[in-house]
């Protein structure tokens, strides 16, 4: 589906969708807890439904009732068929670890985008723990033969993906002797590790973590069923907040200003750029402002790169965004996708290995190929609303994390209209 984004004047209020990251973590914990858990207002999207399907395949009983999901966990079984993770990296990485607890063999497959993302670090860590786990060349698909999880201690790099560490944290309490996880390099995306620890605690699991998050120790423990309320998603909210900052006034509700989510830092970064922000309870209001250039390290909030790149392109001066190399191995090479799209729109962009420099300017009409990446499509909707006459291909890719994005975009006064297939 192609959408043409016309020049817009936005104003209104939208509730942020539930957090994808917390929904995935709650599902993992609930599947490990013997008994019935309730996940209150989870995100319903391609990624979270992928997690639902895989967990169901290994024996978790999951049903939806109204806005909530009920999970009957604690009884894993060997699957009857392949476990397809679609293009959800969190689903693949978390459930690969969970499959070590399944009495039998699990074959996890991936969609075309996810199949290009490496998993060798996790596979090696699981083999070091005595699990039979293999992935040809270090990429999906992954074969896991469940059995006894030896425990003791395992080491892995911290600067690859926090999801590998979180995956091990989910199974650490189930190891025979408990498990100590040591990182041989400083972790990036620390907030995501804190989110995992917070979720584990909600389901009765205590993990001793070093202050610098270089080591984690969990003794043998049992997960307890819980009621878990999913807070709003700051990553998804970033596009709505950015719209207010550049072309009008937006209010986004259902947000926790004190959230552990990494992308909550969008508030601080918008303020650094000169945006007018009002915070009231769970509500954030952003008004159109003359934005100034930004210097920022995105190591802990890499998903904000597309949003901030467009904001930088509309700001006065040259912005520099650092700590971005991991964005090259997301759903797309997001660094290349943003650089290409902005250059096509007449914006000055300079690329280095771990940084991008963007000089603010005037957007020209362009056709944007988001490379099937939801965050690229949503980010360029902001540029389209500023300039008009921007066509976004494969606009339906937003269903990965924010299925209602275009509906909410139009409700705020954005103008996105179907423009062919």
The H-or-E segment that residue 210 falls in is none
Q: Among 347, 240, 239, which residue's Cα sits nearest to residue 303?
A: 239
**Residues whose CB falls within 8 Å of the CB of residue 340, separated by 6 or more in sequence, listed in order:** none
Q: Tell me the three-class secondary structure of 251-295, residue by residue.
A: EEECCCCCCCCHHHHHHHHHHHCCCEEEEECCEEEEECCCCECCE
Q: Which residues on neighbouring strands pair with residue 84, listed in sequence order? A: 109
Q: Which of 46, 47, 303, 373 is catalytic?
A: 303
**Pairing assessment for the beta strands 248-253 and 10-15 based on DSSP bridges:** parallel
CA angle at residue 405 from 46 to 57, to 5 degrees? Answer: 10
**Residues whose CB falls within 8 Å of the CB of residue 81, separated by 6 or more in sequence, listed in order:** 57
- For tokens 């860590």, the residue is 125
Q: Among 368, 414, 375, which residue's Cα sits nearest to residue 397?
A: 375
| Euclidean distance between CA atoms 85 and 387, whole angstroms | 37
What is the DSSP secondary structure assignment for residue 365, as one 8-state letter? P
- For tokens 């003791």, the residue is 152
Q: Note if 300 is an active site residue.
A: no
- For tokens 């690329």, the residue is 351
Q: Which residues on neighbouring strands pair with residue 108, listed in sequence order? A: 83, 142
| Euclidean distance between CA atoms 43 and 23, whole angstroms | 6
Q: Among 96, 76, 113, which residue's Cα sits nearest to residue 166?
A: 96
3-state secondary structure of 216: strand
- For tokens 């972790």, the residue is 187
| Euclidean distance between CA atoms 355 and 349, whole angstroms | 11
C-beta of residue 39 within 8 angstroms of C-beta of residue 78? no
Phi, psi of 32 (to 5 degrees): -85, -15
CA angle at residue 353 from 343 to 115, to 5 degrees? Answer: 85
- Which residues are tagged catalytic? 303
């Amino acid at each position: 589906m192609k959408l043409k984004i016309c020049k817009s004047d936005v104003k209104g209020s939208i509730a942020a969708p539930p957090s994808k990251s917390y929904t995935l973590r709650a599902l993992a914990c609930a599947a490990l807890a013997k008994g019935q858990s309730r996940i209150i207002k989870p995100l319903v999207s391609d990624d979270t439904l992928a997690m639902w399907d895989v967990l169901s395949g290994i024996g978790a009983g999951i049903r939806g009732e109204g806005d909530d999901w009920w999970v009957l966990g604690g009884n894993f079984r060997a699957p009857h068929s392949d476990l397809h993770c679609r293009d959800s990296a969190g689903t693949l990485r978390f459930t690969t670890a969970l499959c070590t607890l399944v009495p039998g063999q699990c074959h996890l497959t991936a969609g075309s985008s996810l199949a290009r993302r490496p998993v060798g670090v996790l596979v090696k860590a699981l083999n070091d723990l005595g699990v039979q786990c293999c992935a040809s060349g270090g990429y999906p698909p992954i074969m896991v033969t469940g059995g006894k999880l030896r425990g003791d201690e395992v080491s892995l790099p911290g600067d690859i993906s926090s999801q590998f560490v979180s995956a091990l944290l989910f199974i650490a309490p189930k190891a025979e002797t408990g498990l100590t996880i040591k990182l041989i390099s400083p972790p990036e995306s620390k907030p995501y590790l804190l989110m995992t620890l917070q979720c584990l605690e909600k389901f009765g699991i205590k993990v001793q973590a070093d202050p610098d998050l270089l080591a984690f120790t969990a003794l043998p423990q049992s997960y307890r069923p819980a009621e878990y309320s999913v807070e709003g998603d700051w990553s998804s909210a970033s596009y709505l907040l950015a719209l207010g900052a550049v072309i009008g006034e937006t209010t986004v509700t259902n947000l926790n200003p004190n959230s552990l989510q990494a992308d909550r830092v969008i508030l601080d970064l918008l303020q650094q750029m000169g945006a007018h922000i009002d915070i009231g309870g769970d509500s954030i209001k952003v008004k159109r402002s003359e934005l100034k250039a930004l210097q920022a390290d995105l190591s802990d909030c890499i998903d904000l790169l597309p949003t901030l790149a467009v904001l930088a392109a509309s700001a006065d001066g040259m912005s520099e965004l650092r700590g971005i190399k991991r964005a090259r191995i997301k759903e797309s090479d997001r660094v290349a996708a943003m650089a290409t799209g902005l250059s096509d729109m007449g914006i000055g962009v300079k690329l280095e290995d771990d940084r991008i420099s963007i000089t603010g300017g005037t957007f020209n009409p362009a056709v944007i190929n988001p490379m099937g990446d939801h965050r690229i499509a949503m980010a360029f909707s902001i540029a389209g609303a500023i300039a008009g006459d921007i066509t976004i291909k494969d606009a339906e890719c937003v269903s990965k994390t924010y299925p209602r994005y275009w509906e909410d975009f139009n409700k705020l006064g954005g103008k996105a209209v179907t423009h062919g297939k």
